[in-house]
Amino acid sequence: MEVFKEYLNGIDHPDHRERVEEMLGWVAESFTELEPVIKWNQPMFTHHGTYIIGFSVAKNHMSVAPEQAAMVKFAEDIESSGFAHTKELVRMPWKKEVDYRLLRKFIEFNIRDKADCGTFWRQ
């Protein structure tokens, strides 16, 4: 995924870089209809020009941002995962495995829920 190459090269910690690259690759392979993009210096995936999911890295975690509607929809799953979160994102610590099951739920929901969305963000 050439579009993410510069972003990934900017992640100093090799294990973190590898984890993010693996996770972005999983999204790209699992959801081939999504377009990988960099916006606001963050890797994201869009569908027909609308935001589906985005990611960012911090010292202790990787943040997953599926938009607030998905956070509300899967609040119980997020709580049971044990991940810290805000109303807009989930923090997946580097020391824990990526929760691909939860990522799949976020992405599938957003693709369906935003099928007729004509804007980047939900209104």
Q: Is residue 27 part of a domain?
A: yes
Q: Is the pTM of this model over 0.85?
A: yes
On whether residue 22 sits in a domain, the answer given is yes
- Establish if 51 belongs to a structural domain: yes
Q: Quickly state the pLDDT bin for 123 (edges 50, 70, 90).
A: confident
* 116 inside domain: no
User: Is position 86 within any domain?
Assistant: yes
What is the per-residue pLDDT across 21-41, written as a single tens digit (0 to 9) for each? 999 999 999 999 999 999 999
Task: Give the pLDDT score at 1.
Answer: 76
**Count of domains for the chain:** 1
Q: Considering the domain boundaries, does residue 41 fall inside one? A: yes
Domain residues for the domain of 77 are: 2-107
The answer to whether residue 68 is domain-embedded is yes
CATH number for position 41? 3.90.1150.200
Q: Which amino acid is at 82?
A: G
Query: Does 113 fall in a domain?
Result: no
